[in-house]
Structure 1
Amino acid sequence: MDNEGIVIVGGGMVGAALAVDLGQRGIPVRLLEARPPQMPTADEPPRLRVSALNQRSIEYLQKLTAWPALQSGRVADFDEVLTWDVSGSGRLRFTALELGLERLGVFLENDHLQATLLEIARTLSAVRVDAPVEGLEIESTEDGPRLVIDGEGPLDPALIVAADGGGSPLREAAGIGSWQGDYHQHAVVASVRTNPPAATCTWQRFTPTGPQALLPLAGGDASLVWYVDPARAESLAQLDADAFVRELETAFPEALGLVETLHGRAHFPIRRRHARRYWQGNLVLVGDSAHVIHPLAGQGVNLGLRDARDLAGRIAEAHRLGLPSSHPPLLAAYERARRPDNQLMQSTMTAFHYGFTTPLGPLAGLRSVGLRLAGHGGWVKRRVLRYALEGR
């Protein structure tokens, strides 16, 4: 590729959305993805990795023509969010009705959205999709990261976009440091069918050992997320399916009902990370390569899609003005716009984690009081909910 083009490394949901956005504007882009997913079939049980999309993300996907291309039978609306602490009586409840909305957002499988975006990208004349890409190497040089493809040689793009995840080899090759933190917990995730079936409410419950959450999926299925210490996660992973289900039914609220079918399960560590800068030379970071937050509120993909939308708009403006895609003021403006938003959400999620998992002894009741106050907070409550939905 000549040095007028853009190379996006990583064709996950964020990288693929950025490629579609740029391609629809007629800006040449090449997308490199090592492990593209297979599109879920209509009769397939839900896959493990799911995301919550807020209304602003849905509007962005509508702009990209991705929203109507999704399989409606694999997208689940939610219209209520309930949060409570088992140590007290306080409850916080958000509903779509409070904002005059039909829904607060949707849950869908990551593979479903990623595969849909990649399919759209392949139809755009300005986009070249290599998925899977074979023999990609990332070299660290004095001038920054260099991309080399086996049999093709080094690439020379005007701009490299790192959309290659929290461990971002591109970020590391550029020598961009990051602030990191470990929550010392694992998320145990189970895709299940319950009786009664999941409805349209998503809830989070804080317990002394960690949060628990239910994410309603299409067709009455649900994703259960159980945050535990690493040793407990490992012990749960060693159980057979029946014993694991019994542990779920014992640990989760009685209202969950019975787990009739366990579709799948996994566990992974919970960490946070924020890059010390979002760009360097002709490299710019988006999504998890720039910021990783606690997954409790499901805001990670929403933040990443906001990154993609902001960066695409700035690149388009640079092209209109005849400036290079890696024009330093352009990339600096992107970081100024996105860092505060991402930092605020990361800090908020960290505060929630420690606020509800740190033993407070006789002060534990303060958490319950806080939830009750937030639940009756009027315009403050609506303002928080509006930010979660729209990011503004």
Structure 2
Amino acid sequence: MHSLTKATARIICRGLACAAEHGEHENEFYDVIISGGGMVGTAMAWSLGTDPNLEGKKILLLEAGNKNVMDKVLDTYSTRVRSISPGSATLLSGTQPYYQTLLSYALITFDKENLQDGMAYIVENDIIVAALTKQLENTSLKNQVKVQYKTRVVMYTWPKSHQVPESIPWVQVNLANGQTFQTKLLIREDGLNSMVRQEAGIPTVKWNYDQSAVVAVLHLSEPTKNNVAWQRFLPTGPIAMLPLSDTESSLVWSTSHRRAEELLQLDEESFVDAINSAFVSQWRLMSVLMPSAGLSHQLPPSVARIGPKSRVMFLLGMGHASEYVRHRVALIRDAAHRVHLLGGQGANLGFGDVACLSQVLSQAAFNGKDLG
């Protein structure tokens, strides 16, 4: 009887503990909630978590997908790559040595006296997210930045800009699993069709470019010092080849929807021929029109084949929010601005958002102001 009582007590205590834990979780309060854990959202959490002026602030990162773990670099490249500018690389340099080591393998340089450093780094999305995720697991950050994966936001409740009886002063975030959080500031990275931007009533200018992009991983015909990004402007749109290694490059071919569909349907040999023709035909034309100039230029590397199942297509568009900030909400990356991938600046604009917003919040915390 005595042992049964003790066992029952343990069950009751465990039940109470679970109930208490769940109850605390339901109404947990954070100084900053970042909704969207892609490259820019994760960088935002890491940047705020490492700022000395924000020490002691509670930060929550909500991500709909799974945790991105990468113990080693995979043998095959992903089609999702980014051209990282020196400014973005400086922002991310705190993720050393993991991220910085990977950067050194895809440096684009120019043989010009006024460009002492590399112009850009070509890095896969997954590597950036994995490097940032690894940094968030550091003991010093675990107590300040909490990350929840496989989460889905079903509703936001916005505070009134003026005092209303019985209204909450913070942003309330409701998840599909029943959890509820409140925060002084909601930072949202949720793409062109931003749910937060729409609910906040922020006007947006957007349109489609009537173009699609075909991307693929390219295997070169022979190893080369592959540190040049090639781009050609064709009648239907630009085609670009970005260096990944001495034997591989990443293709980004912007063209009409019809031509993109045709490229997807081509067999591998015909697709490779189309790529080589698109890059080389212009040089042949130049050699005819300008014999003295055409032969002296370096030619793009020849493509031998493409990576298995790496050929995909996506639509291109533009979007720009009239405001990036409202009462207790801030938009970053595509939720605030979306650009054509022609210049490779979409991700860099997002990392610029991180640098700018981190600086503003750091100064606000230093001055003792409300972060929202």
TM-score (norm 2): 0.76
RMSD: 2.3
* Letter of the 1:51 counterpart: R
State the partner residue of 1:212.
Answer: 239
| Identical residues among aligned pairs (%) | 31
Cα distance change on mapping 1:146 and 1:156 into 2, 3 Å: closer
Q: How does 1:134-173 map to 2 (within 5 A)?
A: 135-139=152-156, 143=160, 146-173=172-199
Judge conservation of contact 1:215–1:224 (CA < 8 Å) in 2. Answer: yes
1:256 aligned to which of 297, 301, 318? 301
Matched, 1:10 2:36: yes
State the partner residue of 1:306.
Answer: 352
Judge conservation of contact 2:268–2:305 (CA < 8 Å) in 1. Answer: no
Judge conservation of contact 2:275–2:303 (CA < 8 Å) in 1. Answer: no
- Alpha-carbon deviation of 1:250? 2.9
Q: How does 1:10-49 map to 2 (within 5 A)?
A: 10-25=36-51, 26=55, 27-36=57-66, 37-39=68-70, 41-49=72-80
Judge conservation of contact 1:245–1:262 (CA < 8 Å) in 2. Answer: no
SS in 2 for 1:323: coil
Cα distance change on mapping 1:38 and 1:165 into 2, 3 Å: farther
State the partner residue of 2:166.
Answer: none
Distance 1:228 1:287 in 2: 24
State the partner residue of 2:147.
Answer: 129
1:61 aligned to which of 92, 95, 99? 92
Gaps of 5+ in 1: 81-94, 327-392
Distance 1:42 1:141 in 2: 42
TM-score (norm 1): 0.73
Judge conservation of contact 1:241–1:262 (CA < 8 Å) in 2. Answer: no
* Letter of the 1:217 counterpart: L
Distance 2:137 2:69 in 1: 15
State the partner residue of 1:283.
Answer: 329
State the partner residue of 1:376.
Answer: none
- Alpha-carbon deviation of 1:2? 4.7
Gaps of 5+ in 2: 1-26, 162-170, 282-299
State the partner residue of 1:384.
Answer: none
Distance 2:115 2:45 in 1: 33
Distance 1:132 1:220 in 2: 36
Cα distance change on mapping 1:239 and 1:40 into 2, 3 Å: farther
SS in 1 for 2:216: strand
Structure with greater Cα Rg: 2
* Letter of the 1:138 counterpart: M
Q: How does 1:1-392 map to 2 (within 5 A)?
A: 2-25=28-51, 26=55, 27-36=57-66, 37-39=68-70, 41-62=72-93, 65-70=94-99, 72-73=101-102, 75-80=105-110, 95=111, 97-123=112-138, 124=141, 125-133=143-151, 135-139=152-156, 143=160, 146-197=172-223, 199-253=226-280, 255-263=300-308, 264-326=310-372
Judge conservation of contact 1:76–1:107 (CA < 8 Å) in 2. Answer: yes
- Alpha-carbon deviation of 1:41? 4.1
